[in-house]
Amino acid sequence: MPSIIEELKHGFQSAIIAAFGADYADVDPLLVPASNPKFGDYQSNLSLSLAKQLGDKPRAIAEKLLAHLQLSDICLPPEIAGPGFINLTLKPSYLETQLSGLNKDSRLGVELAQPIQKVIVDFSSPNIAKEMHVGHLRSTIIGDSIARVLEFRGHDVLRLNHVGDWGTQFGMLTAYLKEVYPSALDTADALDLGDLVTFYKQAKVRFDSDPDFKETARNGVVKLQSGDTETLKAWQLLCAQSRREFQKIYDLLDIKLNERGESFYNGLLPGVVEDLDGKKLLETDDGAQCVFLDGFTNKDGDRLPLIVKKTDGGYNYATTDLAAITYRVNEDRADRIIYVTDAGQANHFAQIFQVAKKAGLLPDNVEPVHVPFGLVLGEDGKKLKTRSGDTVKLQDLLDEAITRARNDLENRLQEEGRQETAEFIENVSTTVGLAAVKYADLSQNRNSNYVFSFDKMLTLQGNTAPYMIYAYARVQSISREGDIDFQTAGKDGTILLRDETELNLAKHLLLLAEIIKTVEKDLLPNRLCEYLYELSKKFNRFYENCPVLKSEEPIRTSRLILCDLTARTLKLGLFLLGIPVLERM
């Protein structure tokens, strides 16, 4: 079913042609949701924008348009306001019909995309032998939500974990372990990720200070890249170690990912460089092979190079990403490739997209998108750190969220004099704690930095996960109280919208499809959060104003349907954010 705004636009387009002729067929009706409810639901300032072209007064243009506008099934008679704005108010009867349609639709009006695309979402992507940090957490949460939205729209989504599992760091690490802890290189489980990180740091210090060690480490990389069995085995052990730790986080957060790390592209790297060379794009700069970029200059105004083969003959992060693009275009047949990383990598992606286009690796019909996000800050406004100044471990952070959610819950149970099973407490605290972390991240515009505050994200008031889950549980409590099975209660019932708060809730429920489409396009999950927050506020206003269980039929059933539709919308919306609901909390 077309969205309301699409139907209105359609009506306007016909009226424009009827009033001003086919030359105006492509004119945008400039229709937007009204800024203030006193102007109705939608507003168009088309007549103002056409005034010059048509050489007529905006109000006169508006009148001509209205003479041809056939929207009486959808709207009350349109009004001309001020200098010539056209204000539209939706008809209750129209909203009632639309809402009945929504009620019968398990997808709540969200159609499958046409045509569907093959979309790669490259997200999370931590680095082996390093701790997964809050930046990776943001990527994981945002990437998962984007993938969910695209999947729900029917796209063929490939979720890829581009883990950093290749390169100098392994030569360094294996060389160091060979010296200090050789058994780690041939025994599974000899180390956990924490040890690995410590060894990595020590190895780095050696690498930077000891030229002989540096040489050994370099040889290690060469051995790895040339497929030396012993080195490969050691590398695999180290990867397995890290992978297990990462998986714990993914399991906890219910994240599905396919690992295809940097090493996957190793064999393709020489080909990438040869290809660039064949296309006459390579230049030698200080012994390194590079492509010079347009639009990227240093402070003297000289063009900057993108290095694809280092002076020592090794390949780097950029070469790997160029190989990955080629593979994703040719083998995966991607239509859209989405990379979710911190904003600090914006230049990297702009550069590799540019080079890939120049080299013809990235055809025009494939859309590469970098989805950047800001930093996670502590409550002091600085980069998030532990009290001792170390980087925060994700596992600790998630555990703390769960513990705090449990404390809040136990306090609440005591205040309310409620007795609940240990299982209930465990389930509610885990769900709420993790949901709070996810929602706090997703509800911010990802482009900005956000302040990580357990207190704020866990409160039951405001734009938080606990508030949203509570709103859902509240509707479920209505069905329990009235002993109502929503599955059967309202399926054939008629919807009647009389109260102002019912109309407002209904209009908002009908906007879901539109919102999902915007998220699909702009890849900003915070739009969905805002929508859901508004929805729960509108529901609360309705619920305060309109008795549900105590009202008479047929109003009672109609209101129950409104409750059920609200709950289903919240559940679906939260699902698309990677957040499960609770029937009780």
Choose between 325 and 562: whose C-beta lies nearer to ligand ARG: 325
> Could you tell me how many residues make up the chain?
585
Q: Contact, 338 vs 120, CB < 8 A? A: yes
Contacts of 246 (CB under 8 A, 6+ apart): 124, 126, 132, 163
x/- contact string, 266-305, with ligand ARG (CB under 6 A)? Answer: ----------------------------------------
Choose between 128 and 359: whose C-beta lies nearer to ligand ARG: 128
Minimum separation from the CB atom of position 327 to ligand ARG (A)? 11
Minimum separation from the CB atom of position 341 to ligand ARG (A)? 5
Give yes or no for residue 368 binding ligand ARG (CB under 6 A): no
Residues 95-124 that bind ligand ARG (CB under 6 A): 122
Minimum separation from the CB atom of position 513 to ligand ARG (A)? 31
| Angle 213-214-216 from CA coordinates, rounded to 5° | 65
CA distances from 176 to 70, 339, 354, 566, 582 (A): 77, 33, 38, 58, 49
Choose between 162 and 507: whose C-beta lies nearer to ligand ARG: 162
Q: Cα–Cα distance between 345 and 349 in angstroms, integer?
A: 6
Cβ atoms within 10 A of the Cβ of 206, count?
18
Q: Cα–Cα distance between 577 and 581 in angstroms, integer?
A: 11
Cβ atoms within 10 A of the Cβ of 542, count?
23
Minimum separation from the CB atom of position 302 to ligand ARG (A)? 26
Give yes or no for residue 125 binding ligand ARG (CB under 6 A): yes
Choose between 394 and 409: whose C-beta lies nearer to ligand ARG: 394
Minimum separation from the CB atom of position 321 to ligand ARG (A)? 5
Minimum separation from the CB atom of position 222 to ligand ARG (A)? 22
CA distances from 92 to 32, 161, 497, 499 (A): 19, 48, 6, 10
Choose between 126 and 466: whose C-beta lies nearer to ligand ARG: 126
Tokens 């952070």 sit at which residue?
Answer: 397
Choose between 342 and 564: whose C-beta lies nearer to ligand ARG: 342
Minimum separation from the CB atom of position 418 to ligand ARG (A)? 44
Contacts of 547 (CB under 8 A, 6+ apart): 559
Choose between 137 and 440: whose C-beta lies nearer to ligand ARG: 137
Residues 314-333 that bind ligand ARG (CB under 6 A): 321, 324
Q: Cα–Cα distance between 325 and 231 in angstroms, integer?
A: 28
Kindly calculate the radius of gyration of the chain based on its CA atoms and give it in whole angstroms: 29
- Characterize the bridge pairing of strands 258-259 and 283-285: unpaired
Give yes or no for residue 525 binding ligand ARG (CB under 6 A): no
Task: Enter the tokens of residue 228.
Answer: 């030396």
3-state helix, strand, coil in the chain (%, to 5): 55, 10, 30
Minimum separation from the CB atom of position 253 to ligand ARG (A)? 17
DSSP 64: H
Give yes or no for residue 43 binding ligand ARG (CB under 6 A): no
Choose between 330 and 411: whose C-beta lies nearer to ligand ARG: 330
Question: 45, 169, 341, 501: which one contacts ligand ARG (CB under 6 A)?
Answer: 341
Question: 164, 167, 433, 490: which one contacts ligand ARG (CB under 6 A)?
Answer: 164
CA distances from 533 to 71, 464, 474, 513, 530 (A): 31, 8, 15, 16, 5
Task: Enter the tokens of residue 28.
Answer: 């945008």
- Give the nearest residue (CB) to ligand ARG: 125
Give yes or no for residue 162 binding ligand ARG (CB under 6 A): yes
Q: Cα–Cα distance between 464 and 435 in angstroms, integer?
A: 9
Minimum separation from the CB atom of position 125 to ligand ARG (A)? 4
Minimum separation from the CB atom of position 348 to ligand ARG (A)? 7
Task: Enter the tokens of residue 74.
Answer: 């959808």
Give yes or no for residue 170 binding ligand ARG (CB under 6 A): no
Give yes or no for residue 127 binding ligand ARG (CB under 6 A): yes
Question: 12, 152, 200, 339: which one contacts ligand ARG (CB under 6 A)?
Answer: 339
Q: Which residues bind ligand ARG (CB under 6 A)?
A: 122, 125-127, 162, 164, 321, 324, 339, 341
